[in-house]
Amino acid sequence: MLPRILELEVMDSLDEAVDYDSMDHSTVNRVFVEDFLATVERSSSTDRPLRVLDIGTGTAQIPIELCRRADFVRVTAVDLASHMLQIGQRNLILAGLESVVRLEHIDAKSLPYGDAEFPAVMSNSIVHHIPEPLAVLREMRRVLKPGGILFVRDLLRPPDIATLDRIVETYAGDGNPHQRQMFHDSLHAALTLDEVRDLLAAVALPREWVSPTSDRHWTIAGLLP
């Protein structure tokens, strides 16, 4: 198994934000939203509007996709990268959704929200950026209300460098060198299934909540007791 090699926790240069936003995430974002909404349907939540906390929102592409498909959702979206949020605000304005998605410059390891404040918490591809991701998962659990929806998806660290290179070529082969390097570094910084299972156990959540959901992703999906 490849060792985990950390990348920068905060992608906060303008070049990184622009390159990230210009990559084609449309399929990944669509599938994320479809799977999140399927989890919402399986829940007993009657909260309307459904208040969703999106942790590590980047340039707000997933909240935009979600709110286009579900008019009952209101999103608080947080990130620690200022340039990402600036582009995200532009994206919200272009989409006409700035009234239903609020962006906030916040560290996911220390959320300023009360215990059990949100009926749903979602996150896409933030965990691999965090050197000690237990702090983020602990915060996600803390702000989630009983019966609430936890939906977290991130990259799965490949078993060897040959597999990593194949995944980069398959899904970022058309990108520029910086985009390919970002994806390469993210895969190398990602967690394994066993590592995620251990994190879940550490915050008293079922280890079976996590499963592999593509050749490069794992997903945590569950309803808090």
Instruction: Measure the CA–CA gap between 221 and 36, rounded to whole angstroms.
Output: 8
pLDDT bucket at 17, cuts 50 / 70 / 90: low
Higher pLDDT, residue 22 or 173 = 173
The chain-wide mean pLDDT, for the chain, equals 93
- Tell me the pTM: 0.93
Residue 57 backbone dihedrals phi, psi, to 5 degrees = -70, -20
150 pLDDT higher than 70: yes
Q: What are the CA-CA distances from residue 94 to residues 62, 168, 197, 207, 208 (Å)?
A: 14, 30, 39, 40, 39
Q: What is the biggest distance separating any 2 CA atoms in the chain, rounded to whole angstroms?
A: 47
Q: Who contacts 39 (Cβ-Cβ below 8 Å, separation ≥6)? A: 149, 151, 221, 223
| pLDDT recorded at residue 21 | 66
Q: What architecture (CATH level 2) is domain 14-223?
A: 3-Layer(aba) Sandwich (3.40)
- Can you give the residue ranges of every domain in the chain? 14-223
Q: How confident is the model at residue 6 (pLDDT cuts 50, 70, 90)?
A: very high
Running DSSP on this structure, what letter comes out for residue 48?
Answer: S
Compute the average pLDDT of residues 169-197: 94
Q: Residues 91-145: pLDDT tens digits?
A: 999 999 999 999 999 999 999 999 999 999 999 999 999 999 999 999 999 999 9
Q: 189: Cβ–Cβ under 8 A, 6 or more apart, which residues?
A: 4, 5, 6, 7, 128, 129, 157
Q: Is the pLDDT of residue 178 over 90?
A: no
High-pLDDT (> 70) share of the chain, %: 94
